[in-house]
Structure 1
Amino acid sequence: MLTLDAFSIYIMLCILAPLLGAFTLLFLIIFEKRIDLLEKQTREIALERELQTALYNQLNQEIQPHFFFNTLNSILSLARLDRKTELINSIETLSKLLKFKYQKNESIITIEEELTYTGHYLEIQKIRFRDRLNYQISIEPNVKQAVIIPFMIQTFVENAFKHAFEKVPGEAILKINIVKKEQDVHVSVWNNSTNLVQQFQQSVGGLGINNIEKRLKLLFPNKHTAIQLSNTGDGTIVFAIFPFISQAKK
């Protein structure tokens, strides 16, 4: 025969067991819904990243034909002027540039690689402009392995030729300066033309710089990036800021 205490415990268990089962079932339902929500959010984040990557790659591809078209125009001008030796040298330099480009077909590269690429472009322009063109490149050693979007510096340089040097006679001076300040990389490209800002604003939408602004935001989301084009009194400067992220040298 059950004692009163045992009977009371039995009754309590009979009452609590369904309640515990109900709470357990409720917890499992909530937990399952939470898991489903997290999986949905993960899929949405992954999809958003894929879309951003696709857009970034599309913008990368968008700027390349623009660059090659202008480079070929520069070489064509040498052919029209019957400057055969310089034409041959520029074609050889272009082959180096193309070889470098297809060996480094990546969505991001180092500043050192970008300057190598830009250097080939400047060699072609030096052949074309001869003694009229003078350029300087200054870079702090600690930023050579920092990541950068492809064609950024080269686009700034190309704009100087397209909107200034090709339209304004006289000496063409170009200065590239790259430094690290706190946790950011500062890139500036200065030229001695004072009307580049106006010329650029009158061009078709400023495709190159707008493209770079979009790619910087995609590459460094939620980070400070900026592009600024302005007169300096004695010339025009394009200034870019983006986070310093070093890539280990292979």
Structure 2
Amino acid sequence: MRTIVVTGGTDGMGAALARHYLAAGERVVVIGRSRAKFDALLADTASQSPSAPSSAEFIAADLSLVEESRRVVDQLKEHHERIDALVLAASFIRQRRHPTPEGHEASWSLFFLSKYLFVTQLADLLRASDRPVIVNTAVPGARAGAIDFDDLEMVDGFTFKRSNAQQRRANELLGILATDQNPDLGYVTWGPTRLVRSSFAGEVGTGMKVAAAVLGSLAGQRPDDAIQPIISIIDTPKPGRAAYRGTRTRPLTVGAHDEDDAARLASAVEEVL
């Protein structure tokens, strides 16, 4: 029995992955904000596979808070000896800059600081697996210079576009740190080929909400369909870094100083964590 950890596992693709692997008889740790959504997920899974919920675990957390991410990491280390697959899929979209009570920019904290903690602090549990893999749902392809190392929290000049690009690039660099630590690890940045139907959690304007609802209903993928490429990645992992849009491999963004940029990013993050 493998141990699959899914952040953002109570909605959308995260929930679909949790249902799939519970039905397949794997141990699944779901991390999310809503116990009610987790209970609904279990009820849905039990209707198809009555014994599946017995191998499910739920950890309630708001991963936009660093201390919450630390607590989850500590709990995983206390209760598990091995992680075979770590899926980083937690999402909450904000169009505007939002400081957390800890003083971090909320999107940066959720989409990168939490992932940095999970990847680096759970390295030993991943190393204990024969074929470890991380699937990071940070859409690949951001330009090499997307990170503002002098203002990672985007105190000045925040825009949704800049914030999104910086998070995506940072998560590609995180793969360098992860695979340097563990050459047997597969680290995949992955994005869907088109919109996936979900509850679209976030603080966004009416226009974005309406557009997401309309496009989702007309052309959006069902989460159960969208996750098929992720299932293939998890079930047949390959060591090293890779990037995908759906089933298609994408070239990793190559900058002039990737190794140095990854080390610089890690140093800056460690100072604030």
TM-score range relative to shorter protein: under 0.3
Larger Rg: 1
TM-score by length of 2: 0.25
